[in-house]
């Protein structure tokens, strides 16, 4: 398995996020990826490489140019407003909800930050753009490895990506790595691609990007949005529209779900992907389904992730694993590499 590691990921290191009404230390920290890398090295698992930089036009296949412009310049704008801002993160505080206009790009930095975000839990830091940009490079390199004949690849990167939409960030995510990779596979000639999201939190950004398309099937097993973040998307009746009708499958599960029921939902998602006729799978690999995760609510245990990997391998499809969530930091490495090991065992 080829592994592409984002050596710039630690440049994005938020100080605080707004969580349930108060500023708290960020849950999404560099140690998450560090523990995965440590575990990969300890098990001597695959070759680990950096990824070549891809042109911005690759990102523009998924993300709006004006959104990318904002992300690329956000930190410099923030510090230009007040030199003291260099010591604090930029966190959104205004949003254009129903009846507000979004077509006009405001001059105010604060207004634009709100225009391009959906929560106050995703701070922009000095290195956010560089870390996110290099993460997209890793996802693209992984997709190209599949196109070159590799059975599997792993993009080890943060910040994660699956909550980021065409023109918005949130949920710790800025560029949608899985969506970018899926588009690369399509642009290279694959007719049908699937994105399978196994993070505890629904991949609202990925769903929104492909919701009206019939060439990319999106399937997600996640916490019920009636009670779980991101709340406003991820219900079972969201099945795609227009050309994408029938190409979106949400399998929301209640808080407290254990491995047996979760595994049944995974089997249902994989059956749907087979029925779709996918030629490759991009897997949004979140291990916040772990029983000890501090901001999630499923009951998977570390050994269960070996079984997850085995189930994925049985599809027989080329697979790109893209690192997403998982906030029980000390266990993230073991749980993530267990999925990869289970996949490689078959």
CA distance 174 to 319: 23
Residues 89, 66, 231, CA angle at the centre, nearest 5°? 60
Which residues does 340 contact at the CB level (< 8 Å), separation at least 6?
1, 45, 46, 152, 154, 309, 321
Is 163 a residue of the active site? Answer: yes
> 320: domain CATH number?
3.40.800.20
Q: Which two tokens stand for residue 260?
A: 């047996």
**Buried-state track 246-270, b at ≥16 Cβ within 10 A, e below 16:** ebbbbbbbeeebebeebbebbeebb
Residue in 8, 55, 326 with CA at minimum distance from that of residue 180: 55
CA distance 281 to 297: 26
Q: Which residues of 254-330 form beta strands (DSSP E)?
A: 281-285, 319-323
| Strand ranges of the sheet holding 281-285, from the earlier edge strand across to the other edge | 47-49, 2-5, 152-156, 319-323, 281-285, 193-197, 216-223, 248-253
What backbone phi and psi angles, to 5 degrees, belong to 4? -115, 120
CA distance 338 to 301: 11
Q: Which two tokens stand for residue 136?
A: 């997209």
Query: Pairing state of beta strands 216-223 and 193-197?
Result: parallel
pLDDT number for residue 46: 79
52, burial (CB in 10 Å: exposed 0-12, middle 13-18, buried 19+): exposed
SS3 annotation, 62-90: CCCHHHHHHHHHHHHHHHHHCHHHHHCCE
Which entry of 9, 12, 63, 163 is annotated as an active-site residue?
163
Helices 128-147 & 177-187 angle (0-180, nearest 10): 40
The alpha carbon of residue 133 and the mean position of all alpha carbons in its chain are separated, in whole angstroms, by: 13
Q: What total number of domains does the chain contain?
A: 1
Mean pLDDT split into 10-residue runs, the chain, 346 residues = 98 94 95 98 92 98 98 98 97 96 97 98 98 98 98 98 98 99 98 98 98 98 98 98 98 98 98 98 98 98 98 98 98 98 95
CA distance 51 to 140: 8
CA distance 25 to 169: 19
CA distance 165 to 117: 9
DSSP letter for 249, please.
E
Helix (H) or strand (E) holding 41: helix 31-42
pLDDT number for residue 20: 86
Which residues does 54 contact at the CB level (< 8 Å), separation at least 6?
136, 137, 140
Boundaries of domain holding 131: 2-345
pLDDT number for residue 103: 96
Residue in 34, 68, 273 with CA at minimum distance from that of residue 164: 68
pLDDT number for residue 47: 87
């Amino acid at each position: 398995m080829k592994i592409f590691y984002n050596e710039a990921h630690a440049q994005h290191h938020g100080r605080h996020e707004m969580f349930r009404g108060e500023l708290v230390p960020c849950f999404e920290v560099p140690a998450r990826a560090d523990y995965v890398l440590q575990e990969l090295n300890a098990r001597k698992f695959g070759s680990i490489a950096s990824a070549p930089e891809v042109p911005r036009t690759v990102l523009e296949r998924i993300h709006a140019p004006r959104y990318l412009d904002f992300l690329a310049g956000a930190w410099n704008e923030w510090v230009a407003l007040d030199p003291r801002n260099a010591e604090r993160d930029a966190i959104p505080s205004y949003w254009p909800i129903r009846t507000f206009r979004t077509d006009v790009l405001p001059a105010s930095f604060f207004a634009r930050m709100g225009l391009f975000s959906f929560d106050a839990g995703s701070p922009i830091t000095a290195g956010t753009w560089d870390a996110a940009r290099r993460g997209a490079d890793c996802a693209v390199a992984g997709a190209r490895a599949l196109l070159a004949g590799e059975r599997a690849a792993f993009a080890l990167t943060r910040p994660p990506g699956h909550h980021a939409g065409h023109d918005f960030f949130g949920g710790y995510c800025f560029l949608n790595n899985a969506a970018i990779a899926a588009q690369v596979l399509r642009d290279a000639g694959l007719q049908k691609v699937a994105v399978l999201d196994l993070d505890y939190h629904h991949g609202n950004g990925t769903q929104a990007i492909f919701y009206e398309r019939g060439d990319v099937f999106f399937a997600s097993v996640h916490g019920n949005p009636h009670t779980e973040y991101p709340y406003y998307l991820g219900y079972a009746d969201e099945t795609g529209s227009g050309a994408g009708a029938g190409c979106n499958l949400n399998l929301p599960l209640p808080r407290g779900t254990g491995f047996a029921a979760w595994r049944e939902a995974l089997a249902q998602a994989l059956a749907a992907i087979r029925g779709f006729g996918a030629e490759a799978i991009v897997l949004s690999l979140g291990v916040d389904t772990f029983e000890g995760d501090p901001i999630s609510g499923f009951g998977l245990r570390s050994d269960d992730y070996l079984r997850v990997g085995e189930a994925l391998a049985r599809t027989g499809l080329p697979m790109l694993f893209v690192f997403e969530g998982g906030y029980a930091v000390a266990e993230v490495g073991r749980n993530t590499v267990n999925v990869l090991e289970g996949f490689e065992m078959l």
